[in-house]
Amino acid sequence: MRYLTAGESHGKQLTTIVEGVPALMPLTSDEINESLLRRQKGHGRGKRMQIEKDLVDIAGGVRHGYTLGSPIALVVKNDDFKHWVDIMGEDPIDEDKKIRRVVSRPRPGHADLNGAMKYGHRDMRNILERSSARETAVRVAAGAVAKTMLKHLGINVVGYVNEIAGIKAEEYPDLSFDQKVTISEDSPVRCLDPEASQKMMDAIDQAKKDGDSIGGVCEVYVEGMPAGVGSYVHYDRKLDARLAFAVQSINAFKGVEFGIGFEAARRNGSEVHDEIIWSEETGYQRRTNNLGGFEGGMTTGMPIVVKGVMKPIPTLYKPLQSVDIETKEPYTASIERSDSCAVPAAAVVMEHVVAFEIAKAILEQFPHDQFPKLKKAIEEYREEIRCF
């Protein structure tokens, strides 16, 4: 299973084609739209969320509520494109108009300058339109297809926020999966700790007043994964490595850890590794889950716990210094519409890229042309390893 996205931030639409989804899997636009609308929520979002109401159009691969086995085409139209036709339209325009609209001042922290160097663009709008986090809308759409598949297989995925601007949420290890979903959805910052949630919102409001931005830490929790998915044989088939790659590929993410993560470097081995226990009812389990559901690049059957670090958004309303690539004179960087904090939205994006990689790994390991056969194969495998 794989997907490819196309489209620019202020272009006509964002498009993704998802290939490799089994036939006969239930899928509706409502399931995808729920994820898209969740991505647009969160305290600290900018004005664009008031303009765009992201809804998907399933343009291929689904008939009468079921997948066909052929590529699934998903389209999210940009309602605001009508105001950007002259700037972002595909047809040639008058050279004078083009020159007046050239973006020649790269923004620190963005792809602007590096991308312009790579592709030879003197107008850096050609870079910033595609490198924008707007593209994550269709990554969420693709991930929503994967989440739907996983849900039918008894695997559930939820993302939430652990930290914003150094304000850390208390851990609540006894919360059920459904409680994590309910509490995070009710929180404007998708945090499981009500007291920390208010402090996070205050910090976001202060950053907005200061014309600044703040980052944080997101966590994704996956319940119901059978043991042994992934591989210890080759580096590029280790599932935790693939999840790390997927999370790191999200705009503004700068670090990934599993379970206790970097804390493992500060503890003794006896305090890190998860002891193995067994019962006739559940089969093999771990007494703890310090390794976040992975050993040797494979799932252990324990919940997958992966964290991602998001830096502050680099578009600031008190812009940093830059250099005009035409005049080589110093300037303050240009400002595009921006959020003071996008960590709550990023938790939704992270939830969906994790879901996609997990679904992809499952399809690689089990028969997958027809969804009912896939479901049966996983049920039989669960019973096999329980009795191993």
Using CA atoms, how far residue 119 sits from 95, 111, 135, in Å, is 20, 12, 19
Phi-psi region of 163 (alpha: psi -120 to 50; beta: other; left: phi over 0): beta
Q: What is the mean pLDDT of the chain?
A: 94
Residue 386, phi then psi, degrees to nearest 5: -65, -40
CATH (residue range 2-386): 3.60.150.10
Using CA atoms, how far residue 285 sits from 289, 300, 302, 386, in Å, is 9, 8, 7, 10
Supply 380's token pair.
């039989």
Q: At what angle do helices 371-386 and 136-152 cross, to 10 degrees?
A: 60
- Convert 293-315 to b/e letters by CB count within 10 Å (16 or more is b): bbbebbbbbbbbbbbbbbebbbb
What's the whole-model pTM score?
Answer: 0.94
- pLDDT at residue 96, rounded to an integer: 75
- pLDDT at residue 83, rounded to an integer: 92
- pLDDT at residue 337, rounded to an integer: 59
CA atoms within 13 A on the CB side of 375: 15
- pLDDT at residue 315, rounded to an integer: 73
**CA 136/CA 252 separation, integer angstroms:** 12
CA of residue 307 relative to chain centroid, distance: 11
DSSP string spanning 176-235? -HHHHHHHHHHSTT-BS-HHHHHHHHHHHHHHHHTT----EEEEEEEE-PPTT-B-SSSG
**CA 280/CA 286 separation, integer angstroms:** 14
pLDDT digit string (tens) for the chain, length 388 residues: 999 999 999 999 999 999 999 999 999 999 999 999 999 988 876 665 556 689 999 999 999 999 999 999 999 999 999 999 989 999 998 877 777 789 999 989 999 999 999 999 999 999 999 999 999 999 999 999 999 999 999 999 999 999 999 999 999 889 999 999 999 999 999 999 999 999 999 999 999 998 889 999 999 999 999 999 999 999 999 999 999 999 999 999 999 999 999 999 999 999 999 999 999 988 999 999 999 999 999 999 999 999 999 999 887 777 788 999 999 999 876 665 568 899 999 999 999 999 999 999 999 999 999 999 999 999 999 999 999 9
- pLDDT at residue 31, rounded to an integer: 96
Q: Which residues contact 144 (CB under 8 A, 6 or more apart)?
A: 31, 32, 34, 35, 36, 352
- pLDDT at residue 6, rounded to an integer: 98
- pLDDT at residue 260, rounded to an integer: 97
Residue 39, phi then psi, degrees to nearest 5: -65, -30
- pLDDT at residue 333, rounded to an integer: 67
